[in-house]
Amino acid sequence: MTAATHAPSSPTKGLASRLARAMPMPAGAGMARILVERNIMGFRHGWIALVTGFAEPVFYLFSLGIGLGGLIRVVTTDSGQSVPYASFVAPALLAASAMNGAVFDSTYNVFFKLKFAKLYDSVLATPMGPRDVAVGEISWSLIRGSLYAAAFLVVAWLSGAVPSWWALLALPAATFIGFAFSAVGMFATTFMRSWVDFDYVTLAIQPMFLFSATFFPLATYPGAVQWIVQLTPLYHGVALERGLMLGEVGSGLLIHVVYLAALGLLGLFGAARRIEKLLLS
Per-residue pLDDT 10s for the chain (281 aa) are: 444 444 444 444 454 455 445 544 443 456 778 888 888 787 676 666 666 666 777 787 887 767 777 778 888 888 888 999 889 999 999 998 888 888 888 898 899 988 888 888 888 888 888 888 888 888 888 887 788 888 888 888 888 888 888 999 999 999 989 999 999 999 999 999 999 999 999 999 999 999 999 998 999 999 889 999 999 999 999 999 999 999 999 888 999 999 999 999 999 999 989 988 888 76
Q: How far apart are CA 210 and CA 214, in angstroms?
A: 6
pTM: 0.82
| pLDDT number for residue 21 | 52
* Direct distance between the N- and C-terminal alpha carbons of the chain, in angstroms, rounded to an integer: 49
In sequence order, the 6+-apart residues with CB closer than 8 A to the CB of 135 are: 25, 26, 29, 32, 268, 272
Cβ atoms within 10 Å of 219's Cβ, excluding its own: 12
| pLDDT number for residue 47 | 64
In sequence order, the 6+-apart residues with CB closer than 8 A to the CB of 164 are: 244, 245, 246, 247
| pLDDT number for residue 49 | 63
CA angle at residue 195 from 190 to 196, to 5 degrees? Answer: 110
| pLDDT number for residue 52 | 66
| pLDDT number for residue 120 | 86
CA 275 to the chain's CA centroid: 21
Largest Cα–Cα distance in the chain? 83
Q: How far apart are CA 156 and CA 98, in angstroms?
A: 14
Cβ distance 132 to 29 under 8 Å?
Answer: yes
Per-domain residue ranges of the chain: 37-280
Looking at residue 201, its amino acid is V
Q: How far apart are CA 33 and CA 138, in angstroms?
A: 11
Q: How far apart are CA 174 and CA 150, in angstroms?
A: 9
> H or E element: which one contains 71?
helix 69-72
| pLDDT number for residue 183 | 93
| pLDDT number for residue 13 | 47
| pLDDT number for residue 119 | 85
Cβ atoms within 10 Å of 23's Cβ, excluding its own: 20
The secondary structure of 111-180, three-state, reads HHHHHCCCHHHHHCCCCCCHHHHHHHHHHHHHHHHHHHHHHHHHHHHHCCCCCCHHHHHHHHHHHHHHHH
| pLDDT number for residue 20 | 47
Closest Cα to residue 85, out of 103, 98, 72? 72
Q: How far apart are CA 231 and CA 186, in angstroms?
A: 20
Looking at residue 92, its amino acid is A
